[in-house]
């Protein structure tokens, strides 16, 4: 297969070092070699999430990580507040509802972030077991103001647990989980972590662990108490996605070599360039100014351009894959992932390819 420039918001391109690490020979997952690997991964990921808590690696995609947060903390009948800013906020809420929680919503218009003042207001009206929030809403390219949201939750009288979906932000956007007193943070390998899909990472606060110990919701594969006790011994309860872990270790080495601060700055710089390039070509950005995600951009298509025609040309003529809208945004927008293994050249090629495809579409229409 010819080289594809995969510019969807996950899975993201794999650096050669990660691809090489993926073919590392197997070892027993009950061995000293594995215990070392798991320990190194845990220790290296902690500062990138801003936590001193154990980071658990679950062999599942991001949704499994979100489900793990829910089943270990939410019981049927619990009241949960969903701060939904789009498709992935709705998904997190659906998981809680499926496990019997009563979900109230504080929804934002597409492209708008969560309003922390409204969060404070809602939390003063009734008590909740948990608040669910998405850091980067991948369906709209909005980065929610997590520090202000966390402060509103922290100041509330009953202090519900704050559960954060950081699937498409972490690894590229810094977070101070412990400082902000966030109770659960979930992320996934196929985004800024430059590793194939299949690993979720989750960290819990002390308060969240206490809740998990008391939570009676049935769970087996996603039982975090089991994962934590195995983790302390340097093991996982079940056979882990070992190859993905080797891949992740190589990706983390790349992040360390570049320096996390520089990784963060690179994402900010490249995302600004993507947005400016799209606007210059007649796209209209979805995210409210000041809340644009450094990892994914969503934009309304220029007048008269159909998503399927544009994305079709991008792939067939330029080998560039982009994403369309999901949920209520289907057919209306284009979404571009610019996280992980991406540099200036990739952004230049992406923007040139879009410009060429638009020209071709307009010439065809004449
Ligand atoms: N939450 C967010 C914010 C996401 O971007 C995604 C994946 N696009 C998910 C959850 C679901 O993750 P997965 O597809 O890995 O299950």
pLDDT (tens digit per residue) in 33-75: 999 999 999 999 999 999 999 999 999 999 999 999 999 999 9
What percent of the chain lies above the pLDDT cut of 90? 98
* pLDDT at 221 > cutoff 90: yes
The Å distance, Cα 57 to ligand 1 centre, comes to 16
Looking at residue 19, its pLDDT comes to 98
Q: Answer for the pair 31, 264: CB distance below 8 angstroms, yes or no.
A: no
* pLDDT at 362 > cutoff 80: yes
Q: How far is CA 55 from the centre of its chain?
A: 16
Sheet holding 284-285, edge to edge: 284-285, 296-300, 333-337, 323-324
Closest Cα to residue 84, out of 26, 138, 36, 161?
Answer: 138
Q: In angstroms, how far is the first alpha carbon of the chain from the final one?
A: 34
58 lines ligand 1 (CB under 6 A): no
The two structure tokens encoding residue 337: 């992932």
15 lines ligand 1 (CB under 6 A): no
Q: Global pTM? A: 0.98
Compute the average pLDDT of residues 245-263. Answer: 98
Cα separation, 184 vs 205, whole angstroms: 6
64 CA closest ligand 1 atom index: 16
Identify the burial level of 290 via C-beta atoms within 10 angstroms of its C-beta, where 0-12 means exposed, 13-18 middle and 19 or more buried.
exposed
If pLDDT is split at 50, 70 and 90, which confidence band does 5 have? very high
Pairing of strands 199-204, 102-105: unpaired
Tens digits of residue pLDDT in 151-165:
999 999 999 999 999
Looking at residue 199, its pLDDT comes to 98
166 lines ligand 1 (CB under 6 A): no
What percent of the chain lies above the pLDDT cut of 70? 99
85 lines ligand 1 (CB under 6 A): no
The Å distance, Cα 188 to ligand 1 centre, comes to 8
138 lines ligand 1 (CB under 6 A): yes
DSSP string, 48-107: HHT--SPEEEEES-HHHHHHHHHHHH--TT-EEEEE--SHHHHHHHHHHHHTT-EEEE--
337 lines ligand 1 (CB under 6 A): no
The two structure tokens encoding residue 213: 């110990």
The Å distance, Cα 79 to ligand 1 centre, comes to 23
Looking at residue 3, its pLDDT comes to 83
Residue among 113, 168, 196 to mutate when testing ligand 1 (max atoms within 8 A of CB): 168
88 lines ligand 1 (CB under 6 A): yes
Compute the average pLDDT of residues 203-222. Answer: 98
* pLDDT at 2 > cutoff 70: no
190 CA closest ligand 1 atom index: 15
63 CA closest ligand 1 atom index: 16
User: Where is 344: in which H helix or E strand?
Assistant: helix 344-365
169 CA closest ligand 1 atom index: 3
The Å distance, Cα 63 to ligand 1 centre, comes to 6
Round the CA-based radius of gyration of the chain to a whole number and report it: 21
137 CA closest ligand 1 atom index: 3
Compute the average pLDDT of residues 199-205. Answer: 98
295 lines ligand 1 (CB under 6 A): no
Q: Average model confidence (pLDDT) for the chain?
A: 97
If pLDDT is split at 50, 70 and 90, which confidence band does 1 have? low
Looking at residue 327, its pLDDT comes to 87
Q: Answer for the pair 113, 149: CB distance below 8 angstroms, yes or no.
A: no
139 lines ligand 1 (CB under 6 A): no
Looking at residue 328, its pLDDT comes to 87
The angle formed by the CA atoms of residues 168, 173 and 179, to the nearest 5 degrees, is: 110
Tens digits of residue pLDDT in 282-331:
999 999 999 999 999 999 999 999 999 999 999 999 999 999 999 889 99
């Amino acid at each position: 297969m010819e080289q594809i420039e995969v510019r969807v918001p996950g899975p993201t391109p794999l650096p050669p070092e990660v691809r090489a690490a993926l073919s590392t020979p197997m070892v027993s997952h009950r061995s000293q070699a594995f215990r070392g690997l798991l320990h190194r991964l845990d220790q290296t990921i902690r500062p990138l999430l801003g936590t001193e808590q154990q980071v658990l690696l679950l062999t599942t995609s991001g949704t499994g990580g979100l489900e793990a947060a829910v089943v270990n903390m939410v019981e049927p009948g619990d009241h949960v507040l969903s701060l939904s800013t789009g498709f992935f906020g709705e998904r997190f809420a659906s998981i809680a509802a499926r496990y019997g929680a009563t979900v109230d919503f504080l929804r934002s218009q597409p492209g708008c972030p969560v309003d922390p003042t409204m969060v404070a207001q809602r939390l003063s009206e009734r008590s909740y077991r948990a608040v669910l929030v998405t850091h980067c809403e991948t369906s709209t390219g909005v980065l929610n103001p997590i520090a202000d949201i966390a402060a509103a939750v922290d100041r509330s009288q009953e202090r519900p647990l704050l559960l954060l979906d950081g699937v498409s932000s972490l690894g590229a956007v810094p977070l101070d989980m412990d400082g902000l007193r966030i109770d659960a943070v979930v992320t996934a390998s196929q985004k800024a972590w430059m590793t194939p899909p299949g690993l979720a990472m989750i960290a819990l606060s002390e308060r969240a662990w206490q809740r998990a110990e008391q939570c009676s919701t049935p769970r087996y594969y996603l039982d975090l108490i089991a994962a934590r006790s195995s983790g302390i011994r340097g093991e996982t309860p079940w056979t882990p996605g070992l190859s993905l872990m080797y891949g992740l270790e190589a990706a983390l080495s790349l992040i360390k070599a570049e320096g996390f601060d520089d990784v963060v700055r690179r994402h900010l710089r490249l995302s600004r360039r993507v947005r400016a390039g799209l606007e210059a070509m007649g796209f209209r950005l979805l995210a409210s100014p000041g809340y644009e995600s450094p990892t994914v951009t969503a934009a309304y298509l220029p007048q008269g351009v159909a998503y399927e025609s544009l994305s079709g040309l991008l792939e067939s003529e330029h080998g560039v894959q982009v994403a369309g809208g999901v949920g209520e945004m289907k057919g209306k927008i284009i979404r571009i992932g610019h996280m992980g293994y991406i540099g200036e050249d990739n952004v230049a090629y992406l923007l040139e390819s879009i410009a060429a495809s638009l020209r071709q579409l307009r010439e065809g229409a004449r």
